[in-house]
Amino acid sequence: MSQKYTIGGTLYLTINGKRYTLTGDLSFKAGGIVREGVNDCNGVGIGFTKTTANGEFDATFPTVSDLSIRDLEAIEDMPMLLELANGRSFVSDTLYCTKVDEYDPIKGTVKASFATLGPMREA
């Protein structure tokens, strides 16, 4: 009999020591090494370039009374911890808010985008 493991579900987001409530809608790119193939002028592959991508994520927050849109916008150069249900955690000391965009008063949610300087570290 195979073992079953939690691979998704509850997640926790802590920014600058404050744990934020999420609606469960979060997707992220941890960042890291990005390789792109390079062809010569005849279309033959000759190698690749290698760069480092920054971490980024989008999250949807419920518009609870202690959530301030202006506080989200003010997030700049702050520590963050993203804890996933499967036991993995990602951290950064350089989180900043790139934009607060969709405010949906009918659903009671607000969507915000964040990025890190450099890739997130898996803790």
Confidence of residue 34 (pLDDT cuts 50, 70, 90): very high
Class of domain 12-122: mainly beta
Task: Name which of 82, 20, 26, 24 is nearest 58 in CA terms.
Answer: 26
Confidence of residue 6 (pLDDT cuts 50, 70, 90): low
Mean pLDDT of the 50-78 span: 94
The pLDDT of residue 46: 95
Task: Give the angle 94-19-105 at the CA atoms, nearest 5°.
Answer: 100
**Enclosing H/E stretch for 34:** strand 32-39
Compute CA distances 99 → 13, 32, 96, whole Å. 17, 22, 9
Domain boundaries, the chain: 12-122
Per-residue pLDDT at 10 exceeds 70: yes
The pLDDT of residue 61: 93
The pLDDT of residue 116: 97
Task: Name which of 51, 67, 57, 50 is nearest 92 in CA terms.
Answer: 57
Task: Give the angle 85-86-87 at the CA atoms, nearest 5°.
Answer: 90
